[in-house]
Amino acid sequence: MTFGTLASGTLEIAGLVLGAVLTFMILSYVFGDNPLYRMALHLFIGVLVGYAFGVVLRDVVIGMALGQLRSNPILVVPLAMGLWLLLFKGVPRLAYAGNFVTAYLVGVGTAVALSGALLGTLIPQVRATGRALSVASVATSPAELLDGVMIFVGTICTLMAFNFAVPKERGLVGTWGRVVGVLAWVGRVLLIFAFAAAFAGALTASLSVFIGRVQYLIEAFTEIYFYVTGG
């Protein structure tokens, strides 16, 4: 066995041992918040921040900003804003100087999130509801009419579930208020089913991750055993 092969096998075993130890440190949260869990969490956050900083420095600052600065001088503006934000936000007395850059980033992020919610969720939902009750969709199959009605009623009831100001009056206004109350109740039931399905999906994903870590521990202990015993 050469030195390179021995060193490679030793490093592999060390990685398996480190992964197993960190897995047990994270799983120790079952017994409550403890120093081992906090140490693993801090280590994970530190590695994540360090890796993200390296990627930003290499790909964004050096690769994009400084690398394309000659061909595109307008990159001086975001580069100066980023340095301004990073430098002045780290000094409490001069933190106010970076408020403009922070406000700009928050404004752009809010606008992007709002447009994404509008163009990616609300408008496609309205279009899907309209297509479900279209003549072409109903003519394709009679069952499409039932699907269209369910989608339409579900959408309306879910939107009505966020109406919490139902007037308790007599006459036409009171009748409309009671109708809205019934629709809101149906919408809240639909939301409960939607949240239950989302929670079940999250729980299934968590169980899959847990099973993967248990399988990793079994494989790690097997590799360590064969390495120690020489089998």
Q: What is the pLDDT of residues 10-59, one digit of tens each?
A: 777 787 888 888 888 888 888 888 899 999 999 999 999 999 989 888 88
Torsions phi, psi of 153, nearest 5? -65, -40
Q: pLDDT per residue over 165-185, tens digit each? A: 555 666 666 677 778 888 888
Q: Is 1 helix (H, G, I), strand (E, B) or coil?
A: coil
User: Above 90 in pLDDT, residue 198?
Assistant: yes
Q: Nearest 5°: CA angle at 44, between 14 and 18?
A: 15
Neighbouring residues of 164: CB distance < 8 A, sequence distance ≥ 6: 184
Flag whether pLDDT at 6 surpasses 50: no
What is the pLDDT at residue 48? 92
Q: What pLDDT was estimated at residue 85?
A: 74
What's the confidence (pLDDT) of residue 168? 62
For 162-178, letters b (16+ CB in 10 Å) and e give: eeeebeeeeeeeeeebe
Give me the helix-helix angle, 35-55 and 3-27, nearest 10°. Answer: 120
State how far the alpha carbon of 136 is from the alpha carbons of 90, 128, 130, in Å.
60, 13, 11
pTM of the shown model:
0.58
